[in-house]
Amino acid sequence: MEQIYTIEKLDHQGRGIIRENGIVIFVENALPKEKVEIQITKEKKNLKEAKVLNYHKQSCDRITPRCPYYKECGGCHVMHMPYKKQLEWKREKVKEIMMKFVSSNVPIQEIVASEEWSYRNKATFQVRKEIGYFEYKSNLIVPIEHCDIVDLKINHLFSIIAELDVSDSSQIIFRASKNTNQTMIILDTKAFLGKNIIDSLKPYTTSIYQKGKEWKLLYGKSYIEETIGDFIFKISPNSFFQVNTKQAETLYQLVLKYASLTRDDCVLDLYCGTGTIGLYLSKFCKQVLGIEINRQAIIDARENQKRNHIDNAEFICSDVATIVDKIKEDYSVIIVDPPRSGLDDKTLFYLKNCNAKRIVYVSCDPVTLARDLKELKEIYHIDELTPVDMFPQTYHVECVCVLNRRKLL
């Protein structure tokens, strides 16, 4: 006799949760209160993973994903939920994480919504005999003809390159600017790219690169440009740039609001990337110092500084963890935008012992954010946290949090 389970809730990756005899079962593509028949796909000591064989009762919140590749592709996770429900779940997820690891008193604002579709300005396609994305939890390729969450210009380029013989490549990376109508194609291959391939792509793109042992410009400009607000930014082939351009401006405005800058403030921008946040803030403060380990990012940050005629910013190429204890100057406001792993111990020690009056923490992982906030709340009051949806249709959520130094008694 088949066993029917009821989904309790969603976990932080958007999977349904079932509890049976002390074992947690995570079920892909399942929603709360749905009654399902499942097949176990993976077993560990205290948990299992499963997929749905049959839905005996579906949630009224379930929708049919518009993407024909959704069930096989590993790129999106919650397209079976209406966007409004995705936002509610992401905000609730952040709230639960903060309550569990930090405090129930963290003031969490409403999540900032994004455009649902065509928002990604960068996409990486895998190439074997066919071109597509990796299958969920697999190295097999899901061949596709388009992707609903990437920029329309990328889909157009993909349709052109799909007609060419690029089987010698292992990956094809597309980058597109939203506001300047520029695009870049990067073919990851050690093989010689024939003139016919390059000539076929030239009319449709700004730049063509070959990525093998080293980056090689095959056609056009060595970079593309993007504008955010009044600023113009250079994007090299391996530069980090927020993949959701329109939402990036929203995020930078939120950082600016939380920073509450005066003309006397000196800003320390840790993990500054190509300097986008620091430069965005530079017009409102006395001085900005950005620190970033990626050398190309720092080269771009300095170029972006020149392009925007900013003379009160400086950028240093260094590992934040190895340089923070050497910083002698006082910075009144500190911006941190660390990788998914969050802040290291040395940086946390610096933040707790420096003289900053305020920290604005930008995070792509609410779990490591919560871990770090638990450490920082001894010295700083957590004033406000705003989730920002940078990645619709996925379980990822960005957070911006402002912390103000507690007053000594």
User: Contact 151/120 with Cβ under 8 angstroms?
Assistant: yes
Is 76 designated active site?
A: no
Judging by beta carbons within 10 Å of its beta carbon (0-12, 13-18, 19+), is residue 315 exposed, middle or buried?
A: buried
Q: Hey, what are 154's tokens?
A: 């990328």
Q: What is d(CA 253, CA 374) in angstroms, rounded to the nearest whole number? A: 26
Q: How many CB atoms lie within 10 A of CB 378?
A: 8
Q: 3-state DSSP call for residue 337?
A: coil
Distances (CA, A) of 169 to 136, 142, 175, 212: 21, 16, 17, 9
Q: Which amino acid is present at 90?
A: K
Q: What is d(CA 304, CA 132) in angstroms, rounded to the nearest whole number? A: 33
Q: In what order do the strands lie in the sheet containing 287-292?
A: 313-317, 287-292, 266-270, 333-336, 358-363, 398-405, 380-388
**Of 272, 364, 399, 401, catalytic:** 364
Q: What is d(CA 154, CA 147) in angstroms, rounded to the nearest whole number? A: 9
Distances (CA, A) of 112 to 150, 241, 244, 359, 370: 20, 19, 13, 21, 19
DSSP for 181-217, please give it: --EEEEEE-SSPPPHHHHHHHGGG-SEEEEESSSEEE
Q: What is d(CA 99, CA 95) in angstroms, rounded to the nearest whole number? A: 6
Q: Hey, what are 17's tokens?
A: 């949760």
- Residue found by looking up tokens 């994007």 in the block: 235
Residues annotated as part of the active site: 364
